[in-house]
Structure 1
């Protein structure tokens, strides 16, 4: 595996791959890689000839009171994990390389219709930081396909909308959620869960699974279901951020006759904010 720190060098390497007729798959990450990230890499390998992974902890998507400073930086371990699965390229730039004119002067990319709801309501400016850095990475790498985990469902939907609106020639592929044995979705932030909380940290997944059961049984009072699911999270000792039943494409509140819906939720543990989702197709019920 070759590691690049500069935009020009990674562009030259990818240019050579394209001259050889190879397709390029891309997995953007913030590092601290775990099995779910590696699953995305393997998925990209199944779809493209050459795979590049980026590791960049993007300060632009962290709020003032969020955990940018303590976000785990594990580049040596990350490199070893990527090399072990025969990843071709690692792009590991520093902040000056990504934001040469400084973040305050950085041109921003905004998807206005989806960025201020759900996680965006709790993390103002977060998705503006995501879409800005992802658009920069797409311009640097110019991949044929890019793989994003579906655990960050809102992020996935926003990036798909950005690609559509800006006519970016990249195919966005969704990678399935990878879960621990008890259903907890794998996340870099799971390391912030205390040992005392961990046995019940799957409560968000359990609450969304309960919601799915109610909907499949025919219940369509979505606001009441959302309230009940949040109560379940509270009873387990955690603080719910939101539980929302949404149209899968637009992320607007689902109507009773919507056939493709996604159940999204976020909750706070003592040291972590966890997110999860489940999608349903009601056409065949």
Structure 2
């Protein structure tokens, strides 16, 4: 990786970087396509990061499809793929550093997955140090993660631009995720209701309060076979829950739900 990079730097080539945990799908490829449009050279990393899993069983079951991933990336015209080992990324053992993300880490996923964002911050910062890209691409499905990485780049004055990419969805509206591969047939049919309920919340909020909208979402989930973990309606910048919406404030709804034993997340801008 280092020798490839030094050659690119010598030629003043722009580098686009897409960090992934593998089990790739069309959502990842949409990030690759954005990078290819904006850079001379696109690098994708494939690394299942142990420090961002607070559930060891989840880590063990996380799908690993390296050969299929490599083939998919080759077809997508990626210039280089980086498949590092845990030992390369964590030479002193797989432990994460602690970060202050200006409170972004305390909301939503942070409440339900303690230590998760320290793991994300540690590995992404390490990748940025190795690859030194001009642009890095992150999907809006993990919107809180995207905001946290933007904050980390700001805090540490890392010289690169974070480029958000819209959520890629299946035809039925289900947000694409590597975890979808583990859904049962029944839950594959049920899971698109997450997006349907988000769309309903967007309409409902036009004439109702934030609290009433959240209650409606809870009631809609009660009619499904999905188990709602949380519904938050929050400010896009601070990720703090809102009760009243200020003029020009950008608001997004965030949902985490269990489809059987698979945890899915989704979000939608509401205004």
TM-score (norm 1): 0.91
- 2-structure distance, mates of 1:79, 1:197: 28
Aligned mate of 2:241, from 242, 253, 263: 253
- Distance in structure 2 (CA, Å) of the matches to 1:30 and 1:14: 21
1:135 is matched with: 125
Q: Distance in 2 between matches of 1:210 and 1:125?
A: 32
- Residues 232 and 254, structure 2, Cα contact 8 Å, conserved in 1: yes
* 1:218-243 alpha-carbon deviations (Å, 9 max, x no partner): 32x21221122022112112110111
Residue matched to 2:70? 79
Where does residue 28 of structure 1 map in the other structure? Answer: 19
| From 21, 25, 36, the counterpart of 1:45 | 36
Partner of residue 57 from structure 1, selected from 23, 48, 51:
48
2:81 matched to 1:93? no
Q: 1:237-277 CA deviation, whole Å, 9 max, x = no partner?
A: 21101111110111011232152111111100113111111
Aligned counterpart, 2:135: 145
2:221 matched residue in structure 1: 233
- Runs of 4 or more consecutive aligned structure 1 residues displaced over 4 Å after TM superposition: none
Answer yes or no: is 1:115 the counterpart of 2:115: no
The alignment yields a C-alpha RMSD, in angstroms, of 1.3
**Within the alignment, does 1:154 sit opposite 2:148 as a pair?**
no
| Number of residue equivalences | 269
Give 1:108 shift: 3.7
SS at match of 1:69: helix
* Contact 1:192-1:271 at 8 Å conserved across structures: no
The offset of 1:206, in angstroms, is: 1.0
Corresponding position of 2:260: 270
Unaligned runs of at least 5 residues, structure 1: 1-9
Q: Per-residue CA shift, 1:86-145, capped at 9, x if unaligned?
A: 1011110000000000124x5444425011221111111111100110011011111000
Mean Cα deviation higher: 67-76 or 198-207: 198-207
Q: Deviations over 1:53-103 (max 9, x none)?
A: 000000000013551011111110000011112101111000000000012
My pick for the range that moved more, 107-116 or 120-129, is: 107-116
What SS does the aligned partner of 2:186 have? Answer: coil
Question: TM-score, normalization: structure 2?
Answer: 0.95
- Give CA deviations for 1:124-171 in whole Å, capped at 9, x if unaligned: 111110011001101111100000011101100111111111111110
Matched, 1:179 2:169: yes
Q: Tell me which residue corresponds to 1:168.
A: 158
